[in-house]
A and B are shown apart, each in its own frame.
Chain A
């Protein structure tokens, strides 16, 4: 048992810190800190900076231009990046599609798509959920019918995150409706500018256009855009989901959020003293910090196993449930900490067009609290995760 990082890991952390200090543009970190919306150009800029250093594709093998970091290195980077208020790396191409292409794609697909993901030529979005297929993803109905050397796609996807920026979408489609649900699904790559595709924004409850509906009306997709074998898409999707669960605990986000909360609670006054000296509030902050310290170690324990080659199984479900509870509790405390200044809806301020209303840290707190209710819903809701834990551990 040794809780300290190795000298190599320490040196890596210093390297990451120096990089973030030197290369992360201040206007980007300011936007992240203040909760302002990041535009497409902001995200592309950050991706390009990382790519320039060879750090954009942390989990890719070197042969494809990745950093090939191990799990501990990735964890260190995520922790430091969150602390420095770096923009989140958009995962759809880099850590969702790419691993599937590397494992199941043909040579032509690897050669064509992987460099384009790194260079930012393509912005991918994910076509998984449908109005009738959420937690029960395998019941998806978007239909792809083979006609000569094309698939004709009809149907609808939803909750397509940042689909408004995307020029490509990877989709789960039904190619065989006559077999067990999981056995009739295929994995298709689709150009967003193909005729018959329509993207409609969904405005979330905090006013942000973060997700979209994507409609397919007789969309002709070249058959060469099929990944792997027809009707084997569910296998690839499950493989992808294990990659979606890297950094699932969000330890870095929680740590950065907790630090911000403490800074706020030191300057907010309540009853003539700093809020952090209020025993009741301090107790709640302390409890969530205690939970986070333990979860951070749970996360590292699981990461060490993964680094030793054991695939994370049910533990990633546990991390997701506990990690989202902790992040949401920090969001709740942060909105409470700002008191009445959580009430304004500073849309102009968040769009970067105006001075803050009240203290500058107050603006995004209510929006973040509500927006992050999604954490326990997406990527397999916490109910689904608990079901997985019970199934695995109880053998049901």
Chain B
């Protein structure tokens, strides 16, 4: 047993933490949140230059990491600083899907991703699919040598900035069959693709994507026809590890801000942190934070396991972090009082990041039921 980071990951953590505490101040981030793009090209270039994107890919893919603990090292730091840039979309989801299914010319795009010049978006969820990965109503029909996509994709994060949308569509089977789903690389601006973009509540942007008889060459398909589900599940497993670590990092910041406030805010002639009622509640947050850290370690450490165990561990982590995250976000706001309700205060953004994590790739309840089902099947 060794719970220390390797030397390389420790360096990555130190470098990234220093970079973000320098560059990603509350004021800088508020400017990013107000911008039309919803992200900063400078920060993205900076993260690429530091090797943060490369750390999310294996050596074989052209990076120098790619394992569960590389993901958690990066995303905990992004979470601590409340970073809104689309690392999850471009590197974790997009990168992994390209790597798993792409042919040589498609995987060649990973180099551009690592270098910071290419963004990706995973257009999978649909207006009524909620968190079900297997539910795909968008269709892909072959027409001569071409493929024609028709359907709607919901809340596609980073769609507007993406050079390619990675679109899931059904080539065969019933609407909720795992078999029959394919992925397609759809270049930005392809005729028939309409984006309705909007900001997200916790920062960043997404779009509703309409696919109206989008005609693609067969070479746009990633991997074999109808066989993309396993790669989707793998990429989403990695995304869930990333989201868990991001929430953990944000919970660390929320807790630190709360500690600072409890020790400095004076009411009734003394710091409010001297009231035992608040001390005990703050202690509970610290206990939950340690639980959350262990859950992240469990999930990251089992990311390469056989699927049943991997998914059980990940469902457990997302459920625990969903519960602990809600507690930390709500209690941090409550113990601060009114100041935490203001948009310009750091905690407001951090709390939103924590809570809104729970709306991506399954919420606390979804992962509880998934854990029950996976445990019963084991």
- Taking Cβ atoms with an 8 Å cutoff, the residues of A that contact B are 129, 132, 134-136, 139, 158-159, 202-205, 207, 268-272, 278, 280-281, 284, 328, 332, 335-336, 339-348, 357-358, 366-367, 369-370, 373-374, 376-378, 381-383, 386-387
Task: Please judge, given known A-B contacts A345-B199, A358-B154, A383-B278, whether A377 and B334 are in contact too, CB under 8 Å.
Answer: yes
Q: A268-B130, A344-B206, A357-B208 are in contact. Are A205 and B337 (CB under 8 A)?
A: no
* Measured CA separation A135–B277 after assembly (Å): 15
Assembled-state Cα–Cα distance A376/B341 (Å) = 12
Complex Cα gap A373–B280 (Å)? 21
Taken together as a complex, chains A and B put the C-alpha atoms of A343 and B206 apart, in Å, by: 9
* Cα A367 to Cα B351 with chains together (Å): 13
Please measure, in the bound complex, the distance between the C-alpha atom of A272 and the C-alpha atom of B176, giving whole angstroms.
8
A340 near B330 (CB under 8 angstroms)?
no
**Between-chain CB contacts (< 8 Å), 19 pairs:** A136-B268, A203-B343, A203-B344, A204-B342, A205-B340, A270-B130, A270-B132, A272-B176, A332-B326, A336-B358, A339-B130, A339-B131, A340-B125, A343-B202, A346-B198, A370-B351, A373-B334, A373-B340, A378-B338
Closest 7 CB pairs of A and B: A205-B348, A136-B267, A345-B201, A203-B343, A339-B130, A340-B155, A366-B201
CB closest chain-B residue, reference A284: B365
Q: Least Cβ distance of A177 to chain B in Å?
A: 15
Q: Considering the chains assembled together, what is the distance between the CA atoms of A383 and B268 in angstroms?
A: 13
Given contacts A203-B342, A204-B343, A205-B348, contact A269 B128 (CB under 8 A): yes
Q: Which of A158, A284, A342 has the most CB of B within 10 A?
A: A342
B356 touches A205 (CB 8 A): no
B171 at the interface (CB under 8 A from A): no
B277 A383 Cβ-Cβ under 8 A? yes
Per the bound structure, the CA–CA distance linking A376 and B278 in Å amounts to 15
Query: Which residues of A sit under 8 angstroms from B351, Cβ to Cβ?
Result: 205, 370
Contacting residues, chain B, for A376 (C-beta < 8 A): 334
**Is B196 located at the chain interface by the 8 A CB criterion?**
yes
Instruction: List the B side residues contacting A346 at CB < 8 Å.
Output: 198
Q: Which of B263-287 contact A (CB under 8 A)?
A: 266-269, 272, 277-278
Partner of A336, one of B196, B337, B343, B363: B363
Chain B residues closer than 8 Å to A204, beta-carbon distance? 341-343
Are B267 and A341 in contact, with the CB atoms below 8 A? no
Asked whether A344 lies within 8 Å of B201 as measured between CB atoms, the reply is yes
Residues of B with C-beta under 8 A to A284:
365
Contact of A377 among B125, B155, B196, B341 (CB under 8 A): B341
> Which B-chain residue is minimally distant from A132 (CB atoms)?
B266
CB closest residue in chain B, given A209: B343
Measured between C-beta atoms, what is the minimum distance from A349 to chain B in Å?
9
A211 to B231, CA, bound (A): 48
Instruction: Report how far A280 CA is from B326 CA in the complex, Å.
Output: 18
A373: which B residues are within 8 A, CB to CB? Answer: 330, 333-334, 340-341
Q: Is B220 an interface residue (CB 8 A)?
A: no
> Cβ of A366 and Cβ of B343 under 8 Å apart?
no
A342 and B357 CA atoms in complex are apart in Å by: 11
Residues A377 and B277 in contact, CB atoms below 8 Å apart: no
A377 and B342 contacting across the interface, CB-CB below 8 Å: no
Q: In angstroms, how far is the closest chain A Cβ from the Cβ of B374?
A: 14
Given contacts A204-B343, A339-B130, A339-B359, contact A377 B154 (CB under 8 A): no
B259 lies within 8 A of chain A by Cβ: no
Say whether B145 faces chain A, with CB atoms less than 8 Å apart. no
Interfacial chain A residues near B337, Cβ < 8 Å: 134-135, 377, 381
Q: A139-B267, A366-B201, A376-B334 are in contact. Are A207 and B365 (CB under 8 A)?
A: no
Please, which residues of chain A bring their CB within 8 A of the CB of B31? none
Interface string of B143-176 (1 = CB under 8 A from A): 0000000000011010000000000000000001
Partner of B360, one of A205, A269, A340, A369: A340
Q: Which residue of B lies closest to A382 (CB)?
A: B334
A86 to chain B, nearest CB (A): 25
In the complex, besides A139-B268, A205-B342, 18 extra interface pairs with C-beta distance below 8 angstroms are A135-B267, A139-B269, A205-B341, A205-B351, A278-B365, A332-B326, A343-B155, A344-B201, A345-B198, A345-B199, A347-B199, A358-B127, A358-B155, A366-B355, A370-B352, A374-B341, A377-B338, A387-B277
Contacts A129-B338, A204-B342 given; does A280 touch B176 at CB 8 Å: no
The interface bits of chain B over 351-378 (1 if a CB of A lies within 8 angstroms of the residue's CB, else 0) are: 1100110111001111011000000000
The interface centre, meaning the residue of A203, A373, A378, A382 with most chain B CB atoms within 10 A of its CB, is A373
